[in-house]
């Protein structure tokens, strides 16, 4: 079972002040439902947990972004890119669970950071 602390770690140890455990728990429930309703019967438990983790991470970060938007009137550009990448990763892992395949081991803080940096440079500087 995926815990709020794992989602926080997945999001590069985002602080409890930024996203409360209550918010993460709600997102975990939603992610669990999404994955459980769509997974293949042949999906490995680790693959299912990875899919739940990545979806809960995306949904939690979306909740955080929504809170920022309420404060400043818009979601900052780099945050939108990060959301896009988190969604792509969540979709990828859900796909593994749906097909009953295994994915790469989730430890994507580095993967996310590298990908977002590259994407931000392409968006901002054209490379």
pLDDT at 82 (0 to 100) = 92
d(CA 43, CA 36): 10
What is the domain partition of the chain in residue ranges? 4-125
pTM above 0.85, yes or no: no
Nearest to 36 by CA among 121, 94, 102, 118: 94
Tokens for 77, please give them: 């550009």
Tokens for 78, please give them: 């780099």
The predicted-structure confidence for 82-100, as pLDDT tens digits, reads as follows 999 999 999 999 999 999 8
Specify the DSSP element, H or E, that contains 121. helix 109-125
Mean pLDDT score of the chain: 85
Locus of tokens 């293949």: 40
Q: What are the backbone dihedrals phi and psi of residue 2, each rounded to the nearest 5 degrees, phi first? A: -80, 135
Output the 3-class SS for 48-97. Answer: HHHHHHHHHHHHHHHHHHHHHHHHHCCCCHHHHHHHHHHHHHHHHHHHHH
The predicted-structure confidence for 101-115, as pLDDT tens digits, reads as follows 776 554 444 344 444
């Amino acid at each position: 079972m995926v815990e709020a602390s794992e989602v926080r770690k997945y999001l590069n140890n985002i602080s409890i002040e930024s996203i409360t455990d209550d918010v993460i728990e709600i997102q975990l429930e939603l992610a669990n439902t999404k994955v459980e309703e769509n997974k293949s019967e042949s999906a490995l438990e680790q693959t299912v947990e990875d899919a739940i983790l990545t979806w809960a991470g995306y949904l939690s970060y979306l909740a955080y972004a929504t809170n920022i938007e309420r404060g400043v009137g818009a979601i900052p550009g780099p945050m939108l890119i990060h959301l896009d990448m988190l969604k792509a990763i969540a979709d990828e892992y859900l796909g593994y669970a749906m097909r009953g395949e295994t994915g790469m081991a989730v430890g994507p803080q580095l993967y996310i950071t590298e990908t977002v940096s590259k994407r931000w440079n392409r968006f901002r500087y054209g490379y």
